[in-house]
């Protein structure tokens, strides 16, 4: 029995962006349905349909929401609306933009 939308995780081997996002999502023990776009043309076609004809990965689809190259926070925000039971109790969304977060980390180091 399903408790909401699944997390369809589209990736390809050797993609550093895919590895980084998957690693961050794994820290939250999220149940990803991994779909390698190089193994199945249907998976590649799905990604192209939501990424302006490109095979941009990682792409995450949760219910009706398609996220192309999202941050882990973006995925968790959609989950919070669509499948809140999957969101870890201790998760809090970060504030600011991705570039702002990156600059903040650089200047703190």
- Ranges of each domain in the chain: 7-108
- What is the dotted CATH code of the domain comprising 7-108? 3.40.30.10
Instruction: Please give the model's pTM, rounded to 2 decimal places.
Output: 0.81
Query: What average pLDDT does range 52-75 have in this prediction?
Result: 95
Distance CA 50, CA 46 (A): 7
Q: Which residues contact 107 (CB under 8 A, 6 or more apart)?
A: none
Q: Whole-angstrom distance between the N-terminal and C-terminal Cα of the chain?
A: 46
Q: Tell me: the pLDDT tens digits for 67-106?
A: 999 999 999 999 999 888 888 888 887 776 666 656 555 5
Strand partners, 68: 59
């Amino acid at each position: 029995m399903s408790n909401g939308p699944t997390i369809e995780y589209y990736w390809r081997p050797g993609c550093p962006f895919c590895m980084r996002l998957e690693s961050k999502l794994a820290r939250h023990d999220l149940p990803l349905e991994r779909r390698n776009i190089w193994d199945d043309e249907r998976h590649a076609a799905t990604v192209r349909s939501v990424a302006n004809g490109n095979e941009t990965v990682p792409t995450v689809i949760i219910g009706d929401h398609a996220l192309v190259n999202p941050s882990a926070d973006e995925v968790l925000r959609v989950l919070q609306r669509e499948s809140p039971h999957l969101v870890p109790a201790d998760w809090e969304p970060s504030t600011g933009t991705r570039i702002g977060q990156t600059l903040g980390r650089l200047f703190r180091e």
